Amino acid sequence: MSAKMQTQRQNLHILSGDYRLILNKVYENNLITQREYNNLKSINNANAETYVNDLVDKIMNKGEDKCKDFLNLLQTDGAIKETFPQLASLQCSATRWEYVTGKIRPVGLFVIINNKNFKDGSQRRGTDKDAQSLAEVFSWLGFRVLMCEDLNKDQMDQALTFVASLADMSHFVDPQQVLEHGDAFICSILSHGKKGVVLGTDRNPLPIKEITRKFRGCDQSVLTGKPKVFLIQACQGSNIQRAVQMNDMEIDDDTSPLTIPEEADVLVAMATVEDHASLRHIVDGSWFVQSLCEQLKERCPRGEDIVSILHYVNDDVAHRETSLLAKQMPEVRFTLRKKLVLQPQCT
């Protein structure tokens, strides 16, 4: 864990020292509603840190201005300054709120499903390079990375169902390890695919719509109102813009009373457009994933949002071609209501 992340967890622990003072001050300064105040006061069977977590989530989901007002309150209110002198050095500029990407606790959970070895004996060579690049970049961005390898269709479906609720992840992680969604959820699936689906290692299809549907907003979901991003490296058909011999490239074929739509806050970035193939180098990895990682490393420190970064990925991949002029065009679709800014957590 980086020094910055340790400081963020320490700040959460500090606020837990007198959470009722913080709650009262937040309400007095109109950062939460009467109803939210009453609900937070009445939470049962929760420790102090849980109270603070819930309070911070409420404020951060209200927008950048409320988030800045909260940080300003922590640094300027007399009673808070007297009770929590450790917060004097807290920097307002440390929080970039558009979609909150975690400033009090880890940014969120990043799940990679990396299907390399298929039941028919075939391999997706180069996919380990993609998985490693993604893990490194999103760890740098402060995400907890969970890697799942060589899952058949049912195992993919089960893993994603569990991740959506974090109900029982004992099959995938050490039971003693605590997983939490944090402020954003990102999933990358590296596999073969066909139109509208990704394939398990048994080559049975799992519809992409079914995957994203598992993470739809609902009253009970802690991910409601938070960004959910899906990065899909898989073909969506077998068409190639020109018939070519691929040489060393392979194809991956065969806040109250506010409400929001249940399909809100989702982004799906596909390596290729519908009906077409995506390209993957057998050593260097796929065009799409490698371009994505390069652009994230270059542009996240500048504060650019994920959609803007994906524009650069689209342009970069569109300019690439094999020696025989095979091309690829990624596609991005989203229902994000705000900009999603991911910032490096390591200095």
Of residues 202, 198, 220, 200, the one with CA closest to residue 211: 198
Identify whether 293 is a catalytic site residue.
no
Catalytic residue status for 319: no
Catalytic one among 67, 148, 187, 235? 235
> Active-site residue among 148, 187, 192, 300?
192
Q: Residue by residue, what is the 3-state secondary structure of the chain?
A: CCHHHHHHHHHHHHHHHHHHHHHHHHHHCCCCCHHHHHHHHCCCCCCHHHHHHHHHHHHHCCCHHHHHHHHHHHHHCHHHHHHCHHHHHCCHHHCCCCECCCCCCCCEEEEEEECCECCCCCECCCHHHHHHHHHHHHHHCCEEEEEEECCCHHHHHHHHHHHHHCCCCCCCCCCCCCCCCECEEEEEEECCEECCEEECCCCCEEEHHHHHHCCCCCCCCCCCCCCEEEEEECCCCCECCCCCCCCCEEECCCCCCCCCCCCCCEEEEECCCCCECCEEECCCEEHHHHHHHHHHHHHHHHCCEHHHHHHHHHHHHHHCCCCCCCCCCCEEEECCCCCEECCCCCC
Residue 178: partners with Cβ closer than 8 Å, 6 or more residues away: none
Tell me if the bond preceding 85 is cis, omega within 30° of 0.
no
User: In this structure, what token pair is assigned to residue 66?
Assistant: 């409320």
Q: Calculate the dihedral angle through the C-alpha atoms of 198, 200, 201, 202, rounding to the nearest 10 degrees.
A: -120
Which active-site residues does the annotation give? Answer: 192, 235
